[in-house]
Each structure stands twice: as structure tokens, then as C-alpha cells.
Structure 1
Amino acid sequence: MRLHLHLDPLGGIAGDMFVAAMLDAFPDLTDRVLADVAAVLPRDAGTARLERGMSRGMSVLRFGLHGGHAHDHHHHHHHDHATTYAALRDRIGAAPLSEGSAHHACAILHLIALAEAAAHDLPLEKVHFHELADWDSLMDVVAAGSIVAALGDATWSCAPLPLGRGTIRTAHGILPVPAPATARILQGYDWIDDGIGGERVTPTGAAILAHVTGGRPAPTPPGGRMGATGMGAGTRDLSDRPNVLRVTAFDIAQGADRDRVVQLACDLDDMTGEEIGAATDRLRDMPGVLDLTLLNAQGKKSRPVTRMELLCDPARAEAVAARMFDLTSTIGIRRTEVARLVLPRCSTTVAGMPAKTVGRPGSTTTKIEDEALRAHETLASRRAAAKNIV
């Protein structure tokens, strides 16, 4: 089984909504998560609690801190050292947590700290977490880290995020929605305006989403056999929908790995064959370029054109596009995000010759690399050699 988790932020995403949705879908993780939370919270902070409830007629789970006192309530006039990034990171690191929980919790915390440092022009170690000033927010980070660690190498996708409207009151005064830290963390993600105002995605929710998706948003699940679903509710009541984050689990098909690449394409109608060949060679040598294909087509005004289609790593797409503009005469490039199915493969040797072995759903195939067969002068001898070797 290969687990894929798809998030539907109908109401939005906050830390407590994520934890509640995941534990609704995977109740077997509850003991682990609550133990990790108890290990990191001070004794007088209260107790983490899961509660079954309703949100506009839907059965939902809520996650929150009950009893105790939020530790910043008596520190209105100065920064509490316990809420600096360094102090919270050290607290997580010192707690006796389940395997992997501290790693993922600290990674989520780090994303929030980077965004806050950039927003306020502060060194990372000096960042003070106003939005994590209550113990329940630190609890959300640790609980999310525990869940992500327990699910191992699961992959994630998320539907477009609700933008929200209006302003929120923060320690830095009134700010527009989404908050600056949220906007920084989720640059490159898809957003929609569904007409409902307020803060719909919190910095903690944003950091959890960016962490599980690796900063590379995929808006749709890859498909597969549907498994568990869960709904985690926030504290607000929305006018026309449940205020929930829904998670849906899929067992995606065995055999092929799914990833996402960027396709860059343009049509060239005023370059010579030599110029196109030179540009193609240089583009193929660029880091992150996975494939490049040239196609003959007919363009506007019945001109013959060469269509250049290039696949590349999303992280390199901007650099590759800039190089395409430098090396070709095009004045426009089409950019599309493409889902791929990729079979596992490895390089090997057969009879002393380099070969590639591919794992297929029902078998394994091996093919001699082209360079090793180029010495054969005819197609027949080349095919015979490859057949005998394999």
C-alpha cells in the first residue's frame, strides 16, 4: 500500500483542524499523539482533548486544550522568553517524544519562524511567536509532527485554499487576511475567493500544509482506492457550509511512482535548423531538464513551425524558461504542471555492458544502453546482440 492524503479546506486550515481531521480518519494514532502532546506541555497548561461534535449538520471532531492557563496571559508588557523560536525548538527537542515527532514538529515550527523573521526583519533566533504564545498552538505543532511521522512516506495534495477577507487583530496591530506569515509560507499555492470573510488559513495551518506537501502544491489527488476520511472542525460557524478541513486517504496503485513536473512549450517559426539544434543541445544540458522534444507543426499564417516541448523539475522551471527566452526567438512560453507515472528503475550491467532495469507491475525488464550497441553496423546485428545479452 502507498498512502496518499488529500486535503479539502472547505472551511480553511488551522493547526487544530488538521489534527482533528487526521485523528478522525486515523483514530489508531490518537494515543501516540496525545502522549507526545502531554510530554511537551508544562503540567499546568491543561490537557489535550478530542471531542465529537457537529458543524452545520455534519459529524466532526474537534481538538483543543482544556483546563490550565495559557502561559502568556500575564506577560502583556514584555516578550516571554518561553515563546521565542529558540526556546520552543529546544523544548520540543528535550521532550521524550515518539520517533520522528520532534523532527517534523521542529520543521513546521521552522517554517513559521522563517516567515515571521522575514515579515519583521529579525534574526531567526530572535523571532517571538505571538501566534504561538498560547500552549494550545504549540500543542498543534507537536501533534501535527507526531501524525506526519507516524504516516511515514505518505504523499499529500490539497485543493485550492480559501482566501478569506477583511482584517485580523494581531500583536502588530490590524493586518489584512491572509496574515503576512501565512502569505509568505504559501507562495505558489492556489487560492480561491469563496465569498466568506475572516482568517481562513492560519500561520500554523499554512506551515503544516507547506511541510507535508514539500512546498510543492498539488491541487488534485492522483487517484486510487479510497480509504478513510476525516473531518476536523474549527471554532467558527460559517454561514453556508461546515467549518471543516476534510482529509481523504487513498491507496494509490502499486508499480508506478507519481510526481509532478512542469512542461514548457513554444512554437518557433523564424529560426534555422542549426539555430534550433544549438538551442536544444544547451537546454538539454541544463540542470533540472528531464526531456526535450521537437515536433513539426503548422502555425499561424500557414507557416511551418517547430514546436519545442520541454519537461523540467518545478524547482528549476523559472531558470529554464529564462534560458529558453535567451536561446530561442520565442516571445511566449506555455507553462503547464503535468502529473507523471514513473516506473522504478536502476542502472546495472549485463555481460559487462551498461543496462537499465525497470520494475513493472507484473515483471522486471532489462535493456542494454544504446551506447553499448553502437559498434554494430546493421540493425539486425544490433538486435541480435541485445537479445543474446539479455
Structure 2
Amino acid sequence: MKTLYLDPISGISGDMMLGLLVDLGVELSAIESELCKLPVSGYALEARREARRGITGCRVHVTIDEHHHHRTWAGIDRMLADSALPEAARELARRIFRRVGEAEAKVHGVPLETVHFHEVGAVDSIVDIVGAAVGLTLLGVEQVVCGPLPMSQGTVLCAHGAIPLPAPATLEILKGLPIIDGQCDKELVTPTGAAIAAEIAEFGPLPAMTLETVGYGVGGRDLPDRPNLLRGLLGETTENGEIDRVVVLETHLDDTTPEVLGFLMERLLAAGAFDVGYSPLQMKKNRPGLRVTVVAPPPLADRLARLLLRESSAIGVRRYETERLKLRRDSATVATELGEAAVKLIYEGEKLLRVSAEYASCRALAEASGRPLPEVYRLVERAAEAFFPV
């Protein structure tokens, strides 16, 4: 499986992602050709070789002559939906913008449809997001894996004035995903970069692969303590990319209340655990108890183990790293009589095995329509099976 591993040495932004894709072999002219299908003007793209701390990569510079042009999420989404972009790139760009829009809506306390974009809605960011979606499609990547993203400290100026780093929208986008302390007072991960990574990538260690190409996307700043680069490793993964590594955390409890257990599961999942499960067992002194099992990305093992110790009565946690055989997943939306719904596509290699409706999307449709949730599930899955025949 053709796999791209993103190594966020100094974070990720939209222009760094564009530069990386060009450095990996995507022709900038091919990206520009697709961007011309959008009713957006007043910009120019230039790819040039630049070095950061002695390492050379590609920087894609977006020059714009349009300023302070605010756009709503609904307007951007409608523009993309009506465009002649290739379907895969068009839908990926829409999902990335939706992530940013939902984060902005949460931060500012407004409905998604009324969100006004400032920096993210400007021409350069539209170019970054759509260009990244087009570039990934042209590169033919089947799987993207990303390392944990480095978070900054301090403040950054935006349309609303000085805001703390990481930007509030960035943190909303990265909920449930692994982050680390970047030990930097400059913005390393922008909302646009965070949304691209969150939408296209699984987060985890470098997978076993036959390495083919290495590329570098160059950031605008020349940082004093690190090369301001987004590195990409492109290659073929073994076992069709279906095996990765996870950490399993376990502990036994016999004196924790159901209320605490419910809260514990919520905290562990919010902190980035892939899965949390409770199973009954008989413990010493004939006490009924339970086993807590947490499956997580290896970089989060320490954080989740300490969270488990703090939030429960456990005084010890067992941990081990193991392989995980998994099926490839993709996301899509389908139209139903109740509105659009998100579905999950499950693949074995290139074969589509099944399509399943996403709970959150079905629940929203059930609440809006007054229909029973099981009926909504059936409605969505029938629509999905017609659109994606197994």
C-alpha cells in the first residue's frame, strides 16, 4: 500500500503541506490547473528551493492581492460542492474545511452555518486546503500516518487580536489526537495544518515500509532552534498496511463505583485512547471486580497510564506493546431523505467489505426528524449500500 508518513519536525501548516507534496513529486502546475476550476482569483503560486538549518526542501509561496475578504463556511462548502474538481479531492477539501468550521463554531459559540472565516477563509488558505487535497489525490497515496503534533506556547496575532498558543481552534480540531510539547513560542501547528492532518491521517509511529522518496515542506520562518520543516516519507508498507503497533494498558479494580468508571472511560477516550473496555472477573478474597483494558497509540502510553492511576483506585498498570491487524477505513457522506449522513467504508486491501453508518450523524438526523434511531440507521445504510455497492 502506498503510504505517506508525516514527520512534523516543526509542526504543520497548509503551505508546508503544499511544499511537501511538490517536493515528493507532484507538479505545481497540475495543482494550479485544478485550482483554476474554483471561482477564486487574486493569487499566484510559486515553488522555490529553500534551506532551513542546512536542509533543503520546497516552499510553496502564495501571493495574494485580495485582503480582508471574509467568507462563511456555508459559502465555501457550496463553492466546493458546485466545483468541477475531481470527486476525491473535492470531498476531502470539504471535510477539511468542515473540521475547521466546526472548531471555529465551538470556539466562538455560533452555529456552523454562520461561521465567518478570516485567515482560514482567505484566498491563501482556500488554496492551501484545496491544493493539499488535490496534491494528495495526484500523488496516489492510499494511507497517511502522522507523528504527534508539537504544540507551542505564547500568543499569536490574528483577526481577533492576540490569542493564546496553541490557537483555540487548533486545540478543538486536535481533540482525541496525540500532541506533545513543542517547546517553542512560535506557532508550529496552524488550524489549517491541524485540520489537514486530522482528516487525512492516522496517528502513530512510523510503519514498516520500503522507503521510496523523502520530501521536505519548508515553513516561512527560519527558527533558531530547529529546522522549520514538515518531512514526508513515501513508500510501500508491508502487509498491505494492515498491521500497526499499539500499547495495551491493563489494571484490575474491585473498589470503584460505576459513576467513576463511566467518567474514567470518557477521560481516557478524550485523551486519545483507541478503545476502552471493562470485563468482569473474580479477584482475591472472593471479590467481584473488573479488568480495565485500554488500547492506545504507543506515544500516549505514559500519559494514559498516569491518567488511569489518577482517575481510578488502581495503584498499578500493566502495559505491553503488540501488533494490531486492522482493516482500512475511509469516510464518506451519503444523501438521504432526512439529509446528509456520514458513513464509514471498511476495506480489505482494495475490496470494500461493508459500509456502516456513523452514530453521531444518525443521532443528529433522528433528533432533527423525530424518527427512531434504528429506523434512521436502516435508512442511512440502505442509501450507503446503493451508493457504495459491496
Cα distance, 1:91–1:239 mapped onto 2, change above 3 Å? same
Separation (CA, whole Å) in 2 of partners of 1:256 and 1:235: 33
% identity of equivalent residues: 33
The aligned counterpart of 2:43 is: 46
Out of 228, 232, 238, the position equivalent to 1:253 is: 238
**CA drift at 1:170:** 1.7
Separation (CA, whole Å) in 1 of partners of 2:217 and 2:12: 9
Structure 1 contact 162–191 (Cα < 8 Å) conserved: yes
| Paired residue secondary structure (1:53) | strand
Is 2:105 aligned against 1:117?
yes
Larger Rg: 1
Amino acid at match of 2:15: D
List aligned pairs for 1:330-345, cutoff 5 A.
Answer: 331=314, 334=317, 340-342=323-325
Structure 2 contact 252–314 (Cα < 8 Å) conserved: no
Separation (CA, whole Å) in 2 of partners of 1:190 and 1:23: 27
Is 2:167 aligned against 1:179?
yes
Out of 228, 241, 247, the position equivalent to 1:243 is: 228
The aligned counterpart of 2:211 is: 226
Aligned residues: 297
The aligned counterpart of 1:190 is: 178
The aligned counterpart of 1:10 is: 9
Is 2:248 aligned against 1:263?
yes
What TM-score, normalized by structure 1, do the two folds share? Answer: 0.66
For residues 216-249 of structure 1, the C-alpha deviation after alignment (integer angstroms, 9 at most, x for no partner) is: 532x122121121110111111002221111112
Cα distance, 1:125–1:57 mapped onto 2, change above 3 Å? same
For residues 31-86 of structure 1, the C-alpha deviation after alignment (integer angstroms, 9 at most, x for no partner) is: 4322122222534x1222222222222211011223x51242xx6xxxx4xx1111
Unaligned ranges ≥5, structure 1: 271-287, 315-320, 345-358, 360-390
What TM-score, normalized by structure 2, do the two folds share? Answer: 0.66
| Paired residue secondary structure (1:18) | helix
**CA drift at 1:20:** 0.8
The aligned counterpart of 1:62 is: 59
| Paired residue secondary structure (2:96) | helix
Cα distance, 1:126–1:5 mapped onto 2, change above 3 Å? same
The aligned counterpart of 1:352 is: none
Cα distance, 1:138–1:163 mapped onto 2, change above 3 Å? same
Out of 30, 34, 37, the position equivalent to 1:36 is: 34
| Paired residue secondary structure (2:36) | helix
Q: Which moved more, 1:250-259 or 1:139-148?
A: 250-259
Cα distance, 1:309–1:167 mapped onto 2, change above 3 Å? closer
Amino acid at match of 1:7: L
**CA drift at 1:194:** 4.0
The aligned counterpart of 1:385 is: none
The aligned counterpart of 2:88 is: 100
CA-atom RMSD in angstroms: 3.7
For residues 286-332 of structure 1, the C-alpha deviation after alignment (integer angstroms, 9 at most, x for no partner) is: xx789979899xx9xxx999994747699xxxxxx9xxx9xxx9646
**CA drift at 1:210:** 0.4
Cα distance, 1:295–1:8 mapped onto 2, change above 3 Å? farther
Cα distance, 1:153–1:242 mapped onto 2, change above 3 Å? closer
| Paired residue secondary structure (1:235) | coil
Separation (CA, whole Å) in 2 of partners of 1:293 and 1:24: 53
